[in-house]
Structure 1
Amino acid sequence: MGDVQTKVAIVTGAGTGLGKAAAIALAKEGANVVAIGRRLPKITETVQEIGYFGGSAIAVRADVSVESDVRHAVETALAGYHRVDILVNNAAVLDIANIFDTEPDEWRRQIDVNLTGPFLMTKAALPIMRRQKYGRIVNITSSLAANGAGGYGAYSAAKAGLESLTRTVADEESNYNILANLFDPGMIKSEMHGTGKDPATVAAEIVRLASLPVYGFSGEKIIYS
């Protein structure tokens, strides 16, 4: 396994839950972190916590479903740290409703954040990673991608699309020493879910995937147990 010392890691949805835990875990291992989220006070808290133990991080308010926000976030990362080595696509939204009751705008919002967001972030980061001949992309998925469940139609569809996108990126970018993997952490205690695993106990697996050497997995789905 490699390490993340001095690497630059962008983490989306870094204001709460697993994203916050991942940002802190990466910083503790020596990465420079760019914490992205829609709520500036939340991502600022994450950056402040990283600063308490001497880590380096910057906060960027951005909606990952908005192309101009994504460009700004990646440009800020590049201006601040001159590289982008790691991308953790964690930002997600969830509205529970049967398909019968799901309004088109609710469907679009979940697809936009949970699938289009990772696409936009990946597309923005890839030119930098290609130039570096190095990149590690970790996309957070769910068992619902394969199994679905009543009330989770839009979320499940988005995660299924994310899994296909990840495997496509892994195949297309392997010659540039860019790895893309899926991570299914299971149920995580967060604002989205009131019960589940402690995010801090799961974040170490994201650090591991973010530091895989060239001969590591790519396009694989890693399930945390």
Structure 2
Amino acid sequence: MEAVDSDTSQWVTDELEESTRPSTSRGIAGSIKTKEFDSILYGPVVDYSFRNLETLSDCVKLTPRTGFRPNEYTENKKLKSCSLRLSHNRLCDLSGLQQVVDALLVEPERLFWIDLSFNSFPNIDPVLIQCTKLQILNLHGNQISELYEVDKLASLPHLRSLTLHGNPLELVKGYRSYVVGIVPQLKSLDYSTITKQDRSTATILKSFTKRKHVARRKYDD
């Protein structure tokens, strides 16, 4: 059985608490029966790693890998899962991500974990912002070089775990503090728990950067 890390466990806890509330407040499609909720949440990762994928559209032509647990399908051939692994491929953009997720998963809007590590992404694709339930995002081992790319992730309210190591941006001075400051909802960065000291340093850096920008604007005026 696949291991479940602390970030995933917290998300599971939040979802199960939500499931106890009146149906009018739940974000679960009416077509999904309550008894199927847990099987979808705990469903095996939909695994397309090591498939030499160059475009996401290739996914729908292939059968996902089978791990220790077999893939679980609904009657209409949709996968019972909330997680997607696309690592170790040759992807450089996420064109068509929403269409692929819609085609594969029975509950596409509940995608909470996606592994995009070890591909060739030059930036953080804005399409990820549409995955509003995303909690775990792996982007390590790509070609992302600009720190400001991380700004795009600030609007993902549930994002708790992020990996970016192995990208050129990791070498930029102040990298960790910048990410922690821009995405304060994170609990873990590069598999390392974000500490109070990390947050304190990020706050100082953010304040210093803000003052520097203000001073520069006054000088330019």
| Fold match (TM-score > 0.5) | no
Could you say which structure has the higher strand fraction?
1
Taking structure 2 as the reference length, what is the TM-score of the superposition?
Answer: 0.38
Q: Flag the structure with higher helix content.
A: 1
Tell me which structure has the larger Cα radius of gyration: 2
Question: Please, what TM-score do these two structures have when normalized by structure 1?
Answer: 0.38
